[in-house]
Amino acid sequence: MKINLTGKTALVGGSSGGIGKAVAEQLAESGASVTLMSHSGNKLKSIVAGLSTDQGQVHNYLVVDFSDFEGYKVLISDFFATNSVDILVNNTQGPDAGNTLDKQVPDYQEAFDLLFKTVVFTTELALKHMIKNKWGRIINAASVSVKEPLSYLALSNTIRAAVVTWAKSLASDVGEHNITVNSILTGYFDTDRINQLNTKKAEQQGIPQEEVRSDMESKVPLKRIGDPKEYGYLVTYLASEQAAFITGTQIPIDGGLLKSL
């Protein structure tokens, strides 16, 4: 099976590194023209320069701050005033770690703005073209914590669950327009985010960071954490015509980490 996204346009959030970067690279490799989004303009510029243009793609980037919702609204509205996308990958940085006793109402509001409001607002703008064109792919980067909450990620557990249930509802509403909506339940991947969380864990427990990582790997049936490229493969498949009958799902990519059905 060869995935061909030639002629398609994609917008990928959080793409200055890690999972988002790998997704952008794989979409471009499959023929899509990709716009990357992140707060780091220098990193985005460098990544765009390295994306495949073998099929005549034109890539671009947009410097945004997902944690500043009002500022983000202005920038993303300006983008959609002159652009449209066929494939939207909703992905942002995660909120601060901590359990429920560490967090107060303002923390949840900030996480809601970061993880939920940015996703819904961006999707609303993207849908105008998708509905008119009778084709679209909306893919949300969520977390395995939606099914099995992680005690040290109370904010992420809570708000990402809201994103997934919203996406399930949206899939029913836009299916008649040949638009699919799917969420990916992300497990442990080799990213800066994982390294930051592991560093904090190591400090709290007074153990080496290598020990934290080793313990993490031992909990995964495949005995390793994921390569971001593997995430890119899944997103690219969901963005393709071959996945046209897959919608409203929550797909784990976690090496078998989840114990629940």
Looking at the structure, do residues 62 and 168 belong to the same domain, yes or no?
yes
How far is the C-alpha of 215 from the C-alpha of 115, rounded, in Å? 28
What predicted TM-score, i.e. pTM, was given to this entire model? 0.95
Residue 115 counted as domain residue: yes
End-to-end, the C-alpha distance of the chain in Å comes to 28
In the chain, beta strands by DSSP E: 9-12, 33-38, 60-63, 87-90, 136-143, 179-186, 250-253
Average pLDDT over residues 4-31: 97
Q: How far is CA 5 from CA 10, 34, 49, 135, in A?
A: 10, 11, 19, 13
Looking at the structure, do residues 169 and 202 belong to the same domain, yes or no?
no
How do 87-90 and 60-63 pair as beta strands? unpaired
SS3 for 60?
strand
The pLDDT value recorded for residue 261 is: 84
Q: Pick the more confident residue, 97 or 104.
A: 104
Average pLDDT over residues 205-214: 88
Looking at the structure, do residues 45 and 146 belong to the same domain, yes or no?
yes
Looking at the structure, do residues 139 and 99 belong to the same domain, yes or no?
yes
Residue 259 counted as domain residue: no
The pLDDT value recorded for residue 192 is: 83
The answer, yes or no, to whether residue 104 has pLDDT greater than 90, is yes
Looking at the structure, do residues 163 and 91 belong to the same domain, yes or no?
yes
Quote the crossing angle between the two packed helices 118-133 and 69-82, to the nearest 10°: 10
Residue 261 counted as domain residue: no
Find, among 36, 28, 29, the residue nearest to 11 by Cα. Answer: 36
174-189 tens-digit pLDDT: 999 999 999 999 999 9
Residue 203 counted as domain residue: yes
Looking at the structure, do residues 131 and 111 belong to the same domain, yes or no?
yes
Residue 1 counted as domain residue: no
Looking at the structure, do residues 33 and 116 belong to the same domain, yes or no?
yes
Looking at the structure, do residues 221 and 176 belong to the same domain, yes or no?
no
How far is the C-alpha of 247 from the C-alpha of 250, rounded, in Å? 9
Looking at the structure, do residues 128 and 49 belong to the same domain, yes or no?
yes
Q: Report the number of distinct structural domains present in the chain.
A: 2
- Does the annotation count 237 as an active-site position? no
215-249 tens-digit pLDDT: 999 999 999 999 999 999 999 999 999 999 999 99
Looking at the structure, do residues 70 and 48 belong to the same domain, yes or no?
yes
Looking at the structure, do residues 201 and 219 belong to the same domain, yes or no?
yes
The pLDDT value recorded for residue 88 is: 98
Residue 196 is part of which domain span? 191-225
Total residue count of the chain as it appears in this document: 261
Looking at the structure, do residues 220 and 232 belong to the same domain, yes or no?
no
Residue 84 near residue 58 (C-beta atoms within 8 A):
no
Catalytic residue among 108, 152, 233, 237: 152
